[in-house]
Amino acid sequence: MKRFLVVRESILDVIAESGRERELPGGSPANVAVGLGRLGHDVGLWTHIGADPSGDLLCEHLTSSDVDLLAPITGTSSRALARIQPDGSARYDFSVDWPRWPGGPAPTVSAHHLHTGSIAALMTPGGGDVEQLLRDRRTTTTISYDPNIRPSLVGEPDDCRARVEGIVTSSDVVKASDEDLAWLYPGMPAFDAARHWLTLGPALVCVTLGADGAFAVAGESHVSVRPVPVTVVDTVGAGDAFMAGLLDALWDRRLLGASARPRLRAVTTGDIRRVLSHAALVAALTVTRAGAAPPTREELPA
């Protein structure tokens, strides 16, 4: 049994900045898998990668980060054009291509924890497959979700909201950015949106706030952490690195896996603060370099 199974997209990020373009591997779920692999976890990625030069680059990146690829290589790889803004943030345009379950039926590999999110969990074809997988695995694994909303691909908020909330309902741990929540719930404060999600079923809801840090809600707890001060190169992959760091810290505290669900439901304020701080550190190290390049375990402070 694997420690982590991550489901869905791998994308080649074309980073456009100051009139130049660089090609770097990306895709939100793939970035999370890479983050977990670099932190020393046994992680498999069920994804779609094309039989093309972009796919070759993605495969090399994933396998060199100790990610086990669990899908055949076929078709055309998906690409994202990330335009870096003066403040280091990124704006995206996508060219995506994937079948329903790549290569056949849903993944059968067992894992203690399953993570999914972003484009392929919401778009058709395939989004319904992800939702069914989460329902099928609900009793045998803990589940995490990061919607990582891309408005240009998922339609209007009113159309997307019910799908996102359906996945939130099946999840134990949910992470979103304040921008995700502002798009899904116009005019609603991020804290209120997080509390709303908590009523749908998760044990822990975390919200990243960019330069203002992050907060989490669980039960009656509300914990905030400040960001780690660093020099930002770009923010590509920062949220995914935060997610990987969050899962890493939860695993280390024996709070993931079906048998750990009661402990996760009873998570203490102290543990929430520690896992948030660890996630913020992993994200901070990631933004000090170009592209989605999360740190290894050895790069973290002892």
Letter for the amino acid at 288? T
Crossing angle of helices 157-169 and 127-137, rounded to 10°: 20
Q: What are the sequence ranges of the domains in the chain?
A: 2-295
Q: What is the pLDDT of residue 95?
A: 66
Determine the 3-state secondary structure of 14 from DSSP: strand
Q: What is the pLDDT of residue 106?
A: 61
**DSSP string computed for 193-257:** HHHHHHHHS-SEEEEE-GGG-EEEEETTEEEEEPPPP---S--TTHHHHHHHHHHHHHHHTT--S
Letter for the amino acid at 31? N
Q: What is the pLDDT of residue 101?
A: 56
> With bands split at pLDDT 50, 70 and 90, how would you rate the model's confidence at 68?
very high
Cβ atoms of residues 52 and 76 within 8 Å: yes
Cβ atoms of residues 14 and 79 within 8 Å: yes
Q: Which of 132-141, 198-207, 256-265 shows the lowest per-residue confidence on average (mean pLDDT)?
A: 132-141
**CA geometry: angle at 103 spanning 97 and 106, to 5°?**
100
What confidence tens digit (pLDDT) does each residue in 102-137 have? Answer: 555 566 788 999 999 988 788 776 777 888 889 889
Please state whether the predicted TM-score (pTM) of the whole model is above 0.85.
yes
Q: What is the pLDDT of residue 285?
A: 93
Q: What is the pLDDT of residue 206?
A: 99
Distance of CA 73 to the CA centre of its chain: 22
What confidence tens digit (pLDDT) does each residue in 32-63 have? Answer: 999 999 999 999 999 888 898 888 999 999 99
Q: What is the pLDDT of residue 89?
A: 66
**CATH no. of 2-295:** 3.40.1190.20
Looking at mean pLDDT, say which of 2-11, 177-186, 290-299 comes out highest: 177-186
Evaluate if residue 174 carries a pLDDT over 80.
yes
Q: Which residue has the higher pLDDT, 22 or 45?
A: 45
> With bands split at pLDDT 50, 70 and 90, how would you rate the model's confidence at 84?
low
What confidence tens digit (pLDDT) does each residue in 215-264 have? Answer: 999 999 999 999 989 988 887 789 999 999 999 999 999 999 999 999 99
DSSP state of 89: -
